[in-house]
Amino acid sequence: MRVLVTGGAGFIGSHVVEQLVERGADVVVFDSLAAHDEVPAYLPSTVDLRVADLSDERAVAAAVDGVDAVCHQAARVGLGIDFDDVTAYVRDNDAGTAALLRALWRRSFEGRLVVASSMVVYGEGRYQCAEHGDVRAEPRRAEDLRAGRFEPKCGRCGRELAWAAVREDAPLDPRNVYAATKLHTEHLASVYGRETGSTVCALRYHNVYGPRMPRDTPYAGVASIFRSAYEAGRAPRVFEDGRQMRDFVHVHDVARANVLALEAEWQGACNVASGQPHSILDMAQALGDGAARPHGARAHVAAAEVTGEFRLGDVRHVIASPELAADVLGFRAQVGFTEGMAAFAHEPLR
């Protein structure tokens, strides 16, 4: 099978490429290498590397020629700095996806298409009220956050809400530019599938971490930011009370989910998550424990600092149900939280 992986030199894409090559696939890597000074040494020598941007119509047309399946990972990721990033996100994510799909359309591609999406399409996670059951969380008020009242409240009775696992049929509510572009990627790919008969699967990644994660950029994830703080001998700054719940899933598992999705025929969107929720503070402490291990004493690493700071509009809790991916793709995460974070404390970043 000949598979095109866009963004195949990147954090997640490169791990997808490795696993495909290990399975004997003929892999075309399409990547602008904008985030790299040179071709990464970790790319397998057997891949057909095309260095170009998705805005390059001829390069995209050449890359899609003869492929049996497409894994679309190329994207501008993270939350960026502020709304001034909007044109860059739309150019790279919306227009980039559109350019890829147009090239596939022009060659009458009807094969398997897997696209990278994100948990951010849900906005806030799923919440339950002790009296009213499943409810939509009210926006958190600045005065509550300043007073250290971080939990969302029920709009009907004012009680604090408890988090619950988000299923794929939850309402979609993108609350930042990146989220909006990932939802648009899903929609464009779905339209392509309906128009052509191509089978399409969107994978909604939760908090991905692991080797080759970008470091110290506005687009880096919280795990990378905390890891960099420990490396520099600083205490990671944990916002709010540190009890924000997330699902941290290792990049090796995410890559395996992509390979399984490429081999399946099921259509729709799936959460890609570990199914093991942990708080942001749990993650900071697990990373600190891993960073201290070679030194033999916890005192060598500064403890995480819970600051009480907040950013209005941040999501409090978002936890995924992994059941659909298990049912339709046969995917279950294999890397445990403790072992994964301990290894990540020393693995190379990018």
**Each residue's pLDDT tens digit, 84-129:** 889 999 999 999 999 999 999 999 999 999 999 999 999 889 999 9
The residue-averaged pLDDT of 2-25 equals 98
**Each residue's pLDDT tens digit, 247-275:** 999 999 999 999 999 999 999 999 999 99
Least Cα distance to 5 among 99, 57, 77, 74 occurs for 74
Confidence label for 299 from pLDDT (cuts 50, 70 and 90): very low
DSSP E strand stretches across 18-151: 26-31, 48-51, 69-72, 112-118, 126-129, 133-135
Whole-model pTM? 0.94
Q: What integer pLDDT is reported at residue 311 of this predicted model?
A: 85
**Each residue's pLDDT tens digit, 120-160:** 999 889 999 999 999 988 888 999 999 999 999 999 999 99
Q: Provide the residue count of the chain.
A: 350
Q: What integer pLDDT is reported at residue 35 of this predicted model?
A: 86
Q: What integer pLDDT is reported at residue 294 of this predicted model?
A: 62
